[in-house]
Structure 1
């Protein structure tokens, strides 16, 4: 499971920090604390370089230019979220909240539509912890998948998504909404491509993507993993995916994108021609999945078509 290597990274960083403090503190507490601060500053600098590159690449994109205030706010939100997601939720809390499929009486349908949550690159189901609480509070049955192998082909994730959709549909009596963050949106499209012709609308009610590189992303060219290379900007895989989709397929999609997405850029690559494309300004890549405005709009969209 991909949580294990994330646990290993957290343990290594923790042990390295303890070792540094134990070595330097007796000599100079100031030097010891400065070393920890320097490590955090390096993390912030790397994240800042992502935003700087995004700004440069987006110059040729029609998306509105973000203000400096938006950039700083997005950078700070993404830094805090990265520490929470990769330092706690995914390594140690990925199985803390089980899928929720409340039982129904025979021949009964649920009052609310179910949801399948599909995470992005380098993530697992722990990414969705805040969503799980919100969905259960509103009565939406849900399944959150973990896509494995972590660095495999996006096409190979179709079976995992299909099994999750079947579980939710059997539990609710309705086709679910599929929500995909980043690569998860591409995995949802690959799953739809694997279905028999004409069966998509019977299997899914709506697909919502959050910062998904539908046309690939500039940074994909530097990846050494199979799924990372598949997300290269204008690459062969994303082009073949687009060419293999029926013209009406995009009408099933709501695609959120941002002018401050530090991973998926140019910003327009997160749009899908013919879909309901929605711009949220000043929001970073992971932040988009938990932004109050985005979450509220997604939950409202999930409620459309419920029985209750």
Structure 2
């Protein structure tokens, strides 16, 4: 027991000696990465869209002080089921969190991007990793326009589809996520226009931009920017 105690004291002394020498030589010791001051943003485009749809919004957020590293956007094959796209959303969220050290991200979506990202939140354990979620012109309760296309994702956007019934069953805005929607009475793609509105969300009616024009609307940007602060 005496030998063990002596060795333990020697071990502590060596640790203190190394720490003192490190400080004296000015050698920096590794520090844990600081969490970002705000949530990074993931943009999710809609049906037949792409990452480039977010050029205006991305530029405005950069102008508002966000760094390029705090903003992510990606393109996906929009013909596949929204359930499969949701897996890509999950991977993008995980990658953005890993890159920035953020505990949570904000998600801003356009059109069908609202559906697959909601599926991620509700069914792929995304609720714990998203702070604010935004739907811009989203077919959250379907759109009649989808009756004219046959892609798996488009069929899922038809009013009354099995996918939408499952997605909207129970609480439409589950968890502690802050949900917000922006919809236009002049949206030629989302019919009825009010399809975007979600129970439990902050729902904002815009003036009269069209479906794609919502992406370059200054009032929509300003509202979304303030929402995700």
> TM (normalized to structure 2)?
0.79
1:113 maps to which residue? 39
- Greater strand content: 2
- CA drift at 1:168: 2.0
Specify the alignment match of 1:139 in structure 2. Answer: 66
Contact map agreement 2:137 2:183 (CA 8 A) in 1: yes
CA shift, 1:179, in A, is 0.6
Structure 1 residues 6-155: aligned runs within 5 Å: 106-137=32-63, 138-140=65-67, 141-148=70-77, 150-155=78-83
Partner of 1:231: 157
* Equivalent residue, structure 2, for 1:211: 137
Which of 173, 183, 190 is the aligned partner of 1:257? Answer: 183
CA RMSD across the alignment: 1.9
Aligned partner (choices 71, 76, 93) of residue 165 of structure 1? 93
Larger radius of gyration: 2
Q: Give how far 1:132 is off.
A: 2.0
The question of whether the paired residues in 2 share the 8 Å contact of 1:261 and 1:285 is answered with: yes
Q: Does the CA-based 8 Å contact 2:42-2:107 persist in structure 1? A: yes
Preserved CA contact (<8 Å) 2:173 2:198: no
> What is the aligned partner in structure 1 of residue 14 from structure 2?
none
List alignment gaps of at least 5 residues for structure 1: 1-104, 304-308
Alpha-carbon distance, 1:220 to partner: 1.0
| Distance in 1 between residues matched to 2:101 and 2:142, nearest whole Å | 34
SS at match of 2:159: coil
Q: Note the C-alpha offset of 1:251.
A: 6.0
**Number of aligned positions between the proteins:** 195
The structure with the greater share of residues assigned to helix is 1
CA distance in 2, matches of 1:289, 1:127: 7
SS of aligned partner of 2:43: strand
1:266-277 equivalent positions in 2, closer than 5 A: 266-277=192-203
* Contact persistence 1:175–1:204 (CA under 8 A): yes
- C-alpha deviations, 1:252-284, integer Å up to 9, x for none? 310111100000011111111111111012111
Q: Which runs of 5+ in 2 are unaligned?
A: 1-30
Deviations along 1:21-46, whole A, 9 cap, x unmatched?
xxxxxxxxxxxxxxxxxxxxxxxxxx
> Secondary structure at 2:42's aligned position in 1?
strand
